[in-house]
Structure 1
């Protein structure tokens, strides 16, 4: 098994934990604060990753350059904007359509990987991406009074366009992070991933702190009062991001993001076994499609 596969699956599992923690944080703070903790409280762990790889594993520090910093800036801002658009979708009554379109990220990552890095995905990869995206979109509309015909017919709707914009930014962000890590040129994929994480999370922390200081200073107090759960969120979030960057240093972003749809399976497993929630036949069909797409991606 190629190394990027277990790394991606582990990152998806950790991201599922981070999302669950952020959901709890939403009960005591706003969306901005719950988003910030993944960056601000993840920053100390990003520093520890770098120091551990250097002093314990003996890896030399990676040397940032202008190309690396340019890609980091684009990816960091793009990720925040993509997340903001996704959160904005929840203010619409028919947000399911937009959310489904935001899940086209692997398809768009394949397109932007070709444009920016001249990386051409193989036929099996494209088929796997199509299957997994179809499965995720099916799950996204499972509880909405929608049909596939209506889903695609609504392509020009406001929610669909916002969702597509979010997916576009997520796709660009994934490719930009891969480009940043590759631009370091060494010493190895782990230190490159850790360096990419540190610079990205540092910039995102500064941007969000500046925003809250300008627009919502009370949120800083709410974050401070929930520091224990915020610290856990930062830990699993930073570790998940380290996994994403490591996997995308080893493999094309489109393939990593296609396999990352396994997170949906973790989400449903949590819903069934911990929260005793039922899933309907449409969701089961979506899960089966995701599994089929992953098998195509990994085995072919």
Structure 2
């Protein structure tokens, strides 16, 4: 199943990109770090699309495609900003876990907006994996700072809405192969996001703009990883309902916990290990249902 491989590649690249952005937040602030993935990612997406156009026709988007893409683009900007706020307040691994409450919301939104069937088996798999996320977060809920927790959950909901927008754009695009459709929507959405964020930085936050330019090496790396991850997310969205992709992507929580321990010296306790086990069970269940 191509969507499985695409999702695993995207999750790996996104974990690395999130780590790069989390580091940038301390130097350039939340808005500056949010802008990096879009402003520095767009040129690579545009170049890849231009090269693809040499060998194959590029599908032409209509107003419906652009509307879906705009929904996904704007929701993703908000989601990224709230994600970075959560990382600053609760830590890298915890923030990633809180965001990954997304699949349940995404499954429900997809059923309503895109008429994608749920079924008890899929809902069960998503619920088990999401429970694993809550446990794997390692948050002591009685002592948790509810501000960062709320921004983490809100980030997940907005990421879910952005996934619906991207899948809607991919489905609305005229007939073409899944790879070229994914690359086309990637270039369109990153272009929209780059314009919005660049305009904001020029008009409202030139200090952050100067900061990301000064940190151009890290910014460039985050942009490349972001564009690469998004391309494979879009390939997954083109081939299967977004809830399937995002549930499988919960393996990113396992990657984030490992990265937290290695880079940020955050420990993993027994409850978190149990949560990771539930994630594995839920993802395995989903794959057996989707196969």
TM-score after normalising by structure 1: 0.87
Q: CA deviation at 1:127?
A: 1.4
Q: CA deviation at 1:277?
A: 4.8
Check whether the contact 1:86–1:102 (CA below 8 A) recurs between aligned residues: yes
- Which position in structure 2 is the counterpart of 1:74? 71
- Which position in structure 1 is the counterpart of 2:239? 250
Q: For 1:198-209, what aligned pairs fall within 5 Å after superposition?
A: 198-209=187-198
Structure 2 stretches of 5 or more lacking a match? none
- Which position in structure 1 is the counterpart of 2:141? 146
Q: How many residues align?
A: 289
Summarize the Cα distance change of 1:98–1:201 in structure 2 as closer, same or farther, 3 Å threshold: closer
Question: Which of 232, 252, 260 pairs up with 1:263?
Answer: 252
- Which position in structure 2 is the counterpart of 1:170? 159
Secondary structure of 2:59's counterpart equals: coil
Q: CA deviation at 1:280?
A: 0.7
Secondary structure of 1:26's counterpart equals: helix
Q: For 1:15-164, what aligned pairs fall within 5 Å after superposition?
A: 15-55=14-54, 58-89=55-86, 102-140=99-137, 142=138, 144-146=139-141, 162-164=151-153
CA distance in 1, matches of 2:35, 2:272: 31
The yes-or-no answer on 1:3 pairing with 2:2 is yes
Secondary structure of 2:249's counterpart equals: helix
Check whether the contact 2:40–2:220 (CA below 8 A) recurs between aligned residues: yes
CA distance in 2, matches of 1:274, 1:73: 35
Q: CA deviation at 1:170?
A: 1.9
CA distance in 2, matches of 1:228, 1:218: 17
Check whether the contact 1:97–1:159 (CA below 8 A) recurs between aligned residues: no
Summarize the Cα distance change of 1:54–1:90 in structure 2 as closer, same or farther, 3 Å threshold: closer
- Which position in structure 1 is the counterpart of 2:268? 279
Question: Which of 216, 224, 228 pairs up with 1:239?
Answer: 228
Summarize the Cα distance change of 1:145–1:105 in structure 2 as closer, same or farther, 3 Å threshold: closer
Summarize the Cα distance change of 1:274–1:98 in structure 2 as closer, same or farther, 3 Å threshold: closer
CA distance in 2, matches of 1:91, 1:190: 35
Summarize the Cα distance change of 1:106–1:59 in structure 2 as closer, same or farther, 3 Å threshold: same
CA distances 1:256-292 after superposition (whole Å, capped 9, x unpaired): 0000111111122334456665311111011111111
TM-score after normalising by structure 2: 0.89
Question: Which of 177, 182, 193 pairs up with 1:188?
Answer: 177
Q: CA deviation at 1:98?
A: 9.1
Q: CA deviation at 1:50?
A: 0.9
Structure 1 stretches of 5 or more lacking a match? none
Aligned-residue RMSD, C-alpha: 2.7
Check whether the contact 2:49–2:184 (CA below 8 A) recurs between aligned residues: yes
CA distance in 1, matches of 2:253, 2:94: 17
CA distance in 1, matches of 2:155, 2:263: 30
Secondary structure of 1:44's counterpart equals: helix
Check whether the contact 2:98–2:156 (CA below 8 A) recurs between aligned residues: yes
Q: Which moved more, 1:5-14 or 1:289-298?
A: 289-298
- Which position in structure 2 is the counterpart of 1:221? 210
